[in-house]
Amino acid sequence: MAHGNRIVRKLYLVLSIAIIGSGVFFFFFRDKEGPALKVSPESPSVSLRPLTVELKDEKSGLRSLQIVLIQKEKESSVITRQYPDRPRQVSENFALDPSMLTEGAFTLRLKAKDGAFLGGNASEVELPLTFDKTPPVPTVLSRTHNMRQGGSALIAYSLSEKPSRTGVKVGNREFPAYRQPSGNYLCLFAYPHDVERADFQPMIFAEDLAGNLGEGGFYFHARSGRYRHDRLNISDQFLNAKMPQFRNEVPEAQTPLDIFLMVNRKLREKNEGDLHRHGANTATSFLFDGAFVRQPGKTMATFGDRRSYFYQGKQIDNQIHLGVDIASFVQSPIKAANAGRVIFAGFYGIYGECVIVDHGLGLQSLYGHLSRIDVGEGQEVARDAVIGLSGATGMAGGDHLHFGILVSGVPVDPIEWWDPNWIKNNVEDRLADAVSGQ
Ligand SMILES: [Zn+2]
């Protein structure tokens, strides 16, 4: 019996250790936390736009979700869910029923439980929100907007409420507007060179914090542009001299002609795409005053020229020239066309050594093919300040300046910006509209 007692005692001990052990285990590793809850979009203001709630509970999985909205002490159920499979992660989309809500303050209460013992751990979140289903309404403050294909226009307007995003939309391009000290908005936009007259239908758009999108048309007069056709012969001499600088940008290209075609197509497209990113790096008011200064020299190419490229008598490519080429003597001092701030200074693909100066509201001037750069990014420049020397870096056959004007990254014809009358009628008068509100 003594022997049997010893076994019982031993078992008892092992059992005790196991029980205490599991108790310790339970104590330290028990899931005490409710599920993580996240509602998006995260905004204090909501509309009829669907919301998403993401639930997560890595330890015990999810048991249930309940969403209730409370307005003026009245509670309405939005969602009730049970998750018998105890998923670790769940995403639920839901929209608010407008019949349960009036515009104004309400509370959204979310309650989630996990699959842990004894009914699970609960998480509860109460979000104080505002229900808003009214989109911002624009009122145009400026009069007729005269536009030419490839040209620019400035519009002044006010909005019935503060937006999260506003501007002018042309097709799928958006030109942001900037709020002025008067509380009104100014938007510089383009009639892009590649949009046909029949497709040009600019609209003001404004989205509020809740996601309500308001749109409004305005009076404008637009005429299509006429462009020159230009033939460019690409020689082996040009290819051998110019293409090695791009070898790292298109490593897959084999011959100098391959490099040329890839640079002229892909790199050009990438460089032009990147202009949009630069366009957002802008001051919220104009930094310049009066007409832009045209660099002295002969015009070698104009804005919008349709260029056909020929190699050994065969047409190999087509592109559109999106600036004005001006040539004078080799290594001419290049001056800022107007006051602004340098936002880019360095090698920029087809434009070679390049400077971009911001003039505010998305308006920027670009100086390409430089042989030397004398300014740095962030530097403020006055009109006529020397920013570098002309050259033939990038995709340039000879020493010249490629001068570009950009409106939120979209190239426009610089000729308007060189014209004091155009500036007076289309820019200065619009600025006055934005201040006075007509
Ligand atoms: Zn050019």
Q: Mind listing the pLDDT tens digit for each residue in 210-260?
A: 999 999 999 999 999 889 999 999 999 999 999 999 988 888 998 999 999
Q: How many angstroms separate the alpha carbon of residue 345 from the centre of ligand 1?
A: 17
Structure confidence at residue 41 as a pLDDT band (50, 70, 90): confident
Q: How many angstroms separate the alpha carbon of residue 326 from the centre of ligand 1?
A: 8
Query: Within a domain: residue 392?
Result: yes
Cα torsion 405, 410, 415, 420: sign = negative
Q: What is the CATH number of the domain that holds 98?
A: 2.60.40.2550
Based on the structure, what is the number of domains in the chain?
A: 3
pLDDT of 87 over the 70 cut: yes
Per-residue confidence (pLDDT) for residue 1, from 0 to 100: 45
For the segment 295-322, the average pLDDT, to the nearest whole number, is 94
- Looking at the structure, tell me whether residues 174 and 238 fall in a common domain: no
Q: How many angstroms separate the alpha carbon of residue 426 from the centre of ligand 1?
A: 26
Compute the half-sphere exposure of residue 302: CA atoms within 13 Å on the CB side of its CA: 11
Per-residue confidence (pLDDT) for residue 97, from 0 to 100: 86
Q: Side chain identity at 354, as an amino acid letter? A: C
> Among 93-102, 157-166, 171-180, 314-323, which is the least confidently predicted range?
93-102
Q: Mind listing the pLDDT tens digit for each residue in 169-205?
A: 999 999 999 999 999 999 999 999 999 999 999 999 9
- Looking at the structure, tell me whether residues 171 and 245 fall in a common domain: no
Structure confidence at residue 16 as a pLDDT band (50, 70, 90): low
Buried (b) or exposed (e) across 286-299, using 16+ Cβ within 10 A? bbbeebbebbebee
Query: Within a domain: residue 30?
Result: no
- Looking at the structure, tell me whether residues 402 and 316 fall in a common domain: yes
For the segment 350-354, the average pLDDT, to the nearest whole number, is 96
Query: Within a domain: residue 238?
Result: yes
Domain boundary among 131, 166, 192: 131
- Looking at the structure, tell me whether residues 213 and 307 fall in a common domain: no
Q: Are residues 356 and 276 in contact, defined by beta-carbon separation less than 8 angstroms?
A: no
Per-residue confidence (pLDDT) for residue 144, from 0 to 100: 80
Q: How many angstroms separate the alpha carbon of residue 389 from the centre of ligand 1?
A: 16
Per-residue confidence (pLDDT) for residue 49, from 0 to 100: 83
For the segment 389-394, the average pLDDT, to the nearest whole number, is 96
Per-residue confidence (pLDDT) for residue 22, from 0 to 100: 54
Share of the chain above pLDDT 90, in %: 77
Q: Are residues 318 and 308 in contact, defined by beta-carbon separation less than 8 angstroms?
A: yes
Q: How many angstroms separate the alpha carbon of residue 237 from the centre of ligand 1?
A: 19
Task: Give the ranges where 158-255 is alpha helix by DSSP (H).
Answer: 236-242
Domain boundary among 103, 131, 159: 131
pLDDT of 19 over the 60 cut: no
Per-residue confidence (pLDDT) for residue 398, from 0 to 100: 93
- Looking at the structure, tell me whether residues 210 and 271 fall in a common domain: no
Query: Within a domain: residue 28?
Result: no
> Quick one: DSSP state of residue 267?
I
Q: How many angstroms separate the alpha carbon of residue 304 from the centre of ligand 1?
A: 10
Phi, psi of 432 (to 5 degrees): -65, -40
Q: How many angstroms separate the alpha carbon of residue 357 from the centre of ligand 1?
A: 17
Q: How many angstroms separate the alpha carbon of residue 433 from the centre of ligand 1?
A: 35
Q: How many angstroms separate the alpha carbon of residue 222 from the centre of ligand 1?
A: 26
> Quick one: DSSP state of residue 196?
-
Query: Within a domain: residue 26?
Result: no
- Looking at the structure, tell me whether residues 290 and 351 fall in a common domain: yes
Buried (b) or exposed (e) across 21-52, using 16+ Cβ within 10 A? eeeeeeeeeebeebbebebeeebebbbeeebe
Per-residue confidence (pLDDT) for residue 436, from 0 to 100: 65
Q: How many angstroms separate the alpha carbon of residue 329 from the centre of ligand 1?
A: 16
Cα torsion 74, 79, 81, 87: sign = negative
Per-residue confidence (pLDDT) for residue 222, from 0 to 100: 95
Q: How many angstroms separate the alpha carbon of residue 403 from the centre of ligand 1?
A: 7
Per-residue confidence (pLDDT) for residue 62, from 0 to 100: 94
Q: How many angstroms separate the alpha carbon of residue 356 from the centre of ligand 1?
A: 14
Q: How many angstroms separate the alpha carbon of residue 242 from the centre of ligand 1?
A: 15
- Looking at the structure, tell me whether residues 152 and 119 fall in a common domain: no
Query: Within a domain: residue 309?
Result: yes
Structure confidence at residue 264 as a pLDDT band (50, 70, 90): very high
For the segment 142-158, the average pLDDT, to the nearest whole number, is 93
Q: How many angstroms separate the alpha carbon of residue 395 from the centre of ligand 1?
A: 8
Q: How many angstroms separate the alpha carbon of residue 367 from the centre of ligand 1?
A: 9
Query: Within a domain: residue 3?
Result: no
Q: Side chain identity at 63, as an amino acid letter? A: R
- Looking at the structure, tell me whether residues 97 and 217 fall in a common domain: no
Q: How many angstroms separate the alpha carbon of residue 434 from the centre of ligand 1?
A: 35
3-state secondary structure string across 52-93: EEEEECCCCCEEEEEEEEEECCEEEEEEEEECCCCCCEEEEE
- Looking at the structure, tell me whether residues 234 and 382 fall in a common domain: yes
What distance in Å separates the CA atoms of residue 195 and residue 216, rounded to the nearest whole number?
Answer: 20
Q: How many angstroms separate the alpha carbon of residue 150 from the centre of ligand 1?
A: 16
Structure confidence at residue 12 as a pLDDT band (50, 70, 90): low
Q: How many angstroms separate the alpha carbon of residue 305 from the centre of ligand 1?
A: 10
Structure confidence at residue 33 as a pLDDT band (50, 70, 90): confident
Q: Which residue has the tokens 């590649």?
A: 194
Q: How many angstroms separate the alpha carbon of residue 321 from the centre of ligand 1?
A: 6
For the segment 126-141, the average pLDDT, to the nearest whole number, is 93
Q: What is the CATH number of the domain that holds 258?
A: 2.70.70.10
Q: How many angstroms separate the alpha carbon of residue 406 from the centre of ligand 1?
A: 14
Q: How many angstroms separate the alpha carbon of residue 300 from the centre of ligand 1?
A: 8
Q: Are residues 133 and 103 in contact, defined by beta-carbon separation less than 8 angstroms?
A: yes
Phi, psi of 261 (to 5 degrees): -65, -40
- Looking at the structure, tell me whether residues 234 and 221 fall in a common domain: no
Query: Within a domain: residue 168?
Result: yes
**Mean pLDDT taken over the chain:** 91
Domain of residue 196, residue span: 138-225+428-436
Domain boundary among 82, 105, 131: 131
Q: How many angstroms separate the alpha carbon of residue 2 from the centre of ligand 1?
A: 105
- Looking at the structure, tell me whether residues 267 and 396 fall in a common domain: yes
Where do the DSSP E strands lie in 208-350? 213-216, 220-223, 229-233, 298-301, 306-311, 314-320, 324-327, 333-335, 340-347
Q: What is the CATH number of the domain that holds 163?
A: 2.60.40.10
- Looking at the structure, tell me whether residues 337 and 391 fall in a common domain: yes
Q: How many angstroms separate the alpha carbon of residue 23 from the centre of ligand 1?
A: 78
